[in-house]
Copies of this chain bind each other. A is one copy, B any other.
């Protein structure tokens, strides 16, 4: 049951951010990611397996998907390898609808904490930030500027499945700033020359709607976000190193906000 050339071409096109954006679909590869999609109750459009590549856990997963009446197509392992982004494919791959979120939709129930990726260009960093965002309750993610494509395979993989549990909006910086303004968000922007987060702890605790922006790995914040920020905050650390990895810095700031929002004020 080999795929036709047209089907193969369509699947391969989803490996690029552009192809994924144009077709409103994205790929997720491997057993763990698909197990996570089930946990988040996100239903794939189609699943492909290379039977001889499936381990025990992969076979069980394929059966579970079939029982849920999801179409599982068996393909030759050469075709699986041609589509997969990872070097050692686990023999299972799924196509999902892209659940891109619009800010209009979000206006109805604006979440307490929002993460703005203001030019995170490395897909691994973006995926890692998504994983941390879900862990620390930042359930809405806005991607602005030169940020990597949300649903590129490397982002999906680095998110370790968190991408299935988040609302992700790709927007212009101006749209995002207007939206935050309209919904009463207080914007904190990560900046290594800013004040330590601890100095604005009381403000964070009191804030009903908090947005945290993390800037580009190479260039930092965009001028628009820097200007719109109520406070520029940094992770306190030794001056021996200039800065932290962007995903680490963003994760630490989200963690500190999470702790402040979840503990009683002292």
B240 A251 Cβ-Cβ under 8 A = no
B241 A135 Cβ-Cβ under 8 A = yes
Count, chain A residues at interface, CB 8 A: 31
Binds B, one of A90-98, A143-151, A230-238: A230-238
Q: How far is the CA of A242 from the CA of B248 in the complex (A)?
A: 18
Q: For the complex, is A141 an interface residue (Cβ under 8 Å from B)? A: no
Q: For the complex, is A170 an interface residue (Cβ under 8 Å from B)? A: no
Question: Which residues of chain A in 128-170 are interfacial with respect to chain B, using CB atoms and an 8 Å cutoff?
Answer: 128, 131-132, 134-137, 158, 160-162, 165
B165 A245 Cβ-Cβ under 8 A = no
Given contacts A236-B259, A258-B237, contact A135 B251 (CB under 8 A): no
B136 A238 Cβ-Cβ under 8 A = yes
Shortest CB–CB separation between residue A127 and chain B, in angstroms? 8
Q: For the complex, is A42 an interface residue (Cβ under 8 Å from B)? A: no
Q: How far is the CA of A258 from the CA of B236 in the complex (A)?
A: 9
A136 B247 Cβ-Cβ under 8 A = no
